[in-house]
Amino acid sequence: MNLLSFFKRPRRRDLTPAAQGAHMTWASRTFSTSISRTREFLSRRLWAWPIIAFTLLLALGWLVHGAIERTMNENLRTQLQTLLDVEVAMLRNWMHSQERNLESMAGDATLRRLAAELLDASRHEGDETRAAAENAAEAIADELGPAMHTHSYDTYFIANRDLKVIAATYPEAIGMTAPAERRSDFARALDGLASVTAPFASQLPLVDEDGVRRTGVPVMYAVAPIRDENLQVVAVLGMQIRPQDEFTRILQLGRLGETGETYAFDADGLLLSGSRFDEELILLGLLEDHPNSHSILKLRVRDPGGNMVAGYRPKVRRSEMEPTRMVESAAAGETAVDVAGYADYRGVQVVGAWTWLKDYGMGVAVEVDYAEAFRPLMILKRTFWGLLILLALSSIAIFVFTVMVARLQRQAREAAIEAKQLGQYKLEEKLGAGAMGVVYKGRHAMLARPTAIKMLNADDLTDTAIARFEREVQITSNLNHPNTVAIYDYGRTPEGVFYYAMEFLDGIDLQELVEKYGPQSAGRVIYILRQICGSLYEAHSNGLVHRDVKPANIMLNRRGGEGDVVKVLDFGLVKARDDQHPGAGGMAGTPLYMSPEAIQAPNSVDACSDIYAVGAVGYFLLTGQPVFEAHSFADLCQMHASEPPKPPSLRLGRQVPEDLENAILACLEKSRSKRPQTARELAQRLSRCADANAWTLDDADAWWGRHERGQSAPAAAKPLSSSNPYAATIDH
């Protein structure tokens, strides 16, 4: 028996790339079919559930994590911005209070008179004017003393319009001018505006926290204009403020958690207020190691390039480091909030908000360590990943166990086949194998009848394959036409091997017939086609469309003492008119023999589609060549859809019976309405051909008698290549 070509349905990898691409183009699946297959898949493969749960949990965790992170970001952004606004408001209120104090003191009538006397004395020389200036200075000190004590001012000075000191708490300050870097702050008083300077290092020796007089002590000054009787600004009054007191205290009120701090800085990143991490900065070597070491005016806010708290040590000096991103932004006049994280002056990742106070020439920043700000999110993330890892390990364990069980089951199936026993059937020789199954010749244990037994491949034992296998058996077993292959039995062994038994055919398929013996005579072609029509008419009468009529699926046999008995095989792709089984709506068939509608609208195939394929088979039998040949799947489909076939007589270069040629070309019409409408109508038309009786039973017996004795193919035969990729069945 030559059933190899019958069951040899090449796998999809046997198709050319072009065929695969076109196949995917038309191989659509409905949503309901996908849902049905998914449900069936999950019901049989329990190992998939942990994997699905893992995937869903991962996706859910990712979404929840993202939602929580966005919420925390917004809340943190709001907190930082609110705290910054409060701190800036408190700082401005304090500075405005200092400005009002100075305005009140500078507007005192006695101070204005004494300042006028002092200014007048400073313009003249001589002992009398010097004595007058000293008396005026003493009177000014007495006048300002109570107010300075009330507002905790340390020292005072009065400067003329050249910002040259003409009176001060410390006599050595007389004659000095305002520091160049703060001259603009003092000059505002000459414009009639009171102001407060940012902290800076004193040029004059002052008493520090240790009671030692030295230069470089951090100071601030509140300044206000002194006016004459004409309300013209004639001098500037300034009061020294200790920034370590109110200024730093206000900023240190703005702290979030254990690592949060608020500080002020200038355009170069120099700290203008104390850091809460002074002790830590001493240990890191960023501040001098002595009891009263402070970061104010000592540390620049620069990015060290790594986390110094975690042990990183910079490779360059601090003066060569770049300012932190916060300082760069603030110095550019920007107000911003950053919750993504950036490095602070310790190299620690922080989140923060900042603004630039243009009228005071300094910036204010609120920061907190990133790790503390997002600690709840980190705890949630660790918990989630811990659960996810446990689920992943469980999924892997279940998957491995399932694979082991599946392997044992497959080994059991293979062992059953190797034992040559399949239920009540004794297996003999292997006849062939295809994409879907393997075929053996066997015998029933009791009947001893030769039987062809088809089994599913152990590697292809999927729900879809089993369903299609069962469906092929059920449909074929309900057809009883003598030209349709007969099904004897169907079953499943205890090892899980699915099989069915059918009549054993020891003939030759039409593909091999033409390849070995060349084009067939007109009479024999008619004889064969009429039998094919008989088988298909029964299927069509039952509402079934074969969809894969081709030479390889039609066997020619010697049965019951008669030769050339046709058997139509492989009803695996059959489609009912109201078919809803998985895959029914996709493209299916063999490209060389597919009708135009099977290519363009697979859902619309009907009996006329099979008749097109019968015409293509007849064309092949008559000419030894398929109707169309192309280099690509797309070109082949285009030919079937629009190009008229070349008449067989032109293809052969010799005369072909006109009535047979017309019958075959009628089957190959592009429009279904122009084809024979039923297989019986086509059979009747063939029976009316002049050569309908040219091939007789005697001719068939004689042919089979010669070839059963092993006679070789005629020399004129021109075998076709069996490697044509478009002769392969596609099913999608």
CA-CA distance, 348 to 341, in Å (whole number)? 9
439 found inside a domain:
no
pLDDT of residue 303: 95
Q: Are residues 235 and 271 in the same domain?
A: no
List the single range of 34-38, 297-301, 401-405, 568-572 with lowest mean pLDDT: 34-38
Is 242's pLDDT higher than 60?
Answer: yes
Higher pLDDT, 517 or 725: 517
Q: Phi and psi dihedrals of 716, rounded to 5?
A: -80, -10
85 included as an active-site residue? no
Regarding whether 655 and 514 lie in a shared domain, the answer is yes
Is the pTM value of this prediction over 0.75? no
Residue 83 clears pLDDT 90, i.e. is over it: yes
Per-residue confidence (pLDDT) for residue 657, from 0 to 100: 93
pLDDT-derived band at 419 (thresholds 50, 70, 90) equals low
**Is the pLDDT at 391 greater than 80, yes or no?**
no
**Does 402 map to a domain?**
no
The residue from 354, 373, 392 where one domain ends is: 373
Residues 262 and 228 in one domain: no
Question: What is the C-alpha to C-alpha distance for residues 728 and 731, in angstroms, rounded to an integer?
Answer: 10
pLDDT band at 13 (very low <50, low <70, confident <90, very high): very low
What's the rounded Cα separation, in Å, for the pair 667 and 689? Answer: 15
Is residue 23 located within the same domain as residue 168?
no
Is the four-CA dihedral 652, 656, 658, 663 of positive or negative sign?
negative
Q: Are residues 235 and 316 in the same domain?
A: no
Helices (H) and strands (E) in the chain, counts: 22, 25
582-634 pLDDT tens trace: 444 555 668 889 889 888 888 888 899 999 999 999 999 999 999 998 888 88
More confident residue, 23 or 39: 39
Structure confidence by residue, pLDDT tens digits, 283-341:
988 888 887 788 999 999 999 999 999 999 999 999 899 999 999 999 999 999 999 99
- Which residue did the predictor score with more confidence, 726 or 204? 204
Pair of tokens at residue 623: 């000419």
In a domain, 610, yes or no: yes
Residue where one domain finishes, among candidates 321, 348, 373: 373
61 class by beta-carbon count within 10 Å (0-12 exposed, 13-18 middle, 19+ buried): middle
Give pLDDT, residue 388. Answer: 76
| Higher pLDDT, residue 225 or 498 | 225
**What's the CATH code of the domain at 163?**
3.30.450.20
Q: Which range has the worst mean pLDDT, 41-45, 333-337, 400-404?
A: 41-45
pLDDT category, 271, cuts 50, 70, 90? very high
Same domain, 237 and 315: no
Predicted local distance difference test score (pLDDT) of residue 473: 77
Please report, rounded to a whole number, the percentage of residues in the chain having pLDDT higher than 90.
Answer: 41
Residue 715 and residue 596 share a domain: yes
Q: Do 321 and 303 meet the contact criterion of CB atoms below 8 Å apart?
A: yes
pLDDT at 726: 52
691 located within any domain: yes
Does 331 fall in a domain?
yes
pLDDT at residue 376 above 60? yes
- Of 454-458, 581-585, 696-700, the poorest mean pLDDT is in 581-585
Q: Of 320, 352, 373, at which residue does a domain stop?
A: 373
Per-residue confidence (pLDDT) for residue 20, from 0 to 100: 40
Least confident segment among 117-121, 314-318, 352-356:
117-121
Our count of domains for the chain comes to 3
- Cα(663)–Cα(683) distance, integer angstroms: 10
- Domain assignment present for residue 547? The answer is yes
The C-alpha atoms of residue 352 and residue 81 are separated, in whole angstroms, by: 9
What is the arithmetic mean of pLDDT over 373-396? Answer: 80
Strand, helix or coil at 126?
A: coil
* Residue 486 near residue 503, CB atoms below 8 Å: yes
Residue type, 230: N
Report pLDDT for 126. 57
Among 548, 564, 570, 691, the active-site one is 548
> Domain limits at 617?
14-44+508-731
**Does residue 324 lie in a domain region?**
yes
* Phi and psi at residue 573, to the nearest 5°: -105, 10
Picking from 301, 297, 160, the residue whose alpha carbon sits closest to that of residue 217 is 297
CATH number at residue 514: 1.10.510.10
Give yes or no for residue 17 having a pLDDT over 60. no
pLDDT value of residue 48:
65
Above pLDDT 70, what percent of the chain? Answer: 82
Co-location of 615 and 661 in the same domain: yes
Q: Is 89 helix (H, G, I), strand (E, B) or coil?
A: helix
pLDDT of residue 15: 39
CB neighbours of 536 closer than 8 A, spacing ≥ 6? 546, 549, 568, 607, 610, 611, 614, 679
**Is pLDDT of 199 > 50?**
yes
Give the count of alpha carbons within 13 A of 561, CB side only: 0
**Residues 538 and 667 grouped into a single domain:** yes
What SS3 class is residue 201? strand
Report the pLDDT averaged over residues 192-211. Answer: 87
State whether residue 631 is helix, strand or coil.
coil
Stretch 510-538: mean pLDDT, rounded?
Answer: 94
| CA torsion through residues 628, 598, 581, 33, sign | positive
Distance, first Cα to last Cα, the chain: 30
Q: What is the mean pLDDT of residues 541-559?
A: 89
Cα 183 from Cα 113, distance rounded (Å): 26
Would you say residue 337 lies in a domain?
yes
* CATH number of the domain that residue 341 is part of: 3.30.450
pLDDT at 565 over 60: yes
224, 327: one domain:
no
> Same domain, yes or no, for 227 and 266?
no
Check if the beta carbon of residue 355 is closer than 8 Å to that of residue 335: yes
Gap between the Cα atoms of 439 and 418, Å rounded: 13
Q: Read off the tokens for 35.
A: 């849902």
Same domain, 221 and 274: no
Highest mean pLDDT (candidates 248-257, 401-410, 660-669): 660-669
Number of other CB atoms surrounding residue 32 within 10 Å: 11
The per-residue pLDDT of the chain, averaged, comes to: 82
- Residue 666, pLDDT score: 94
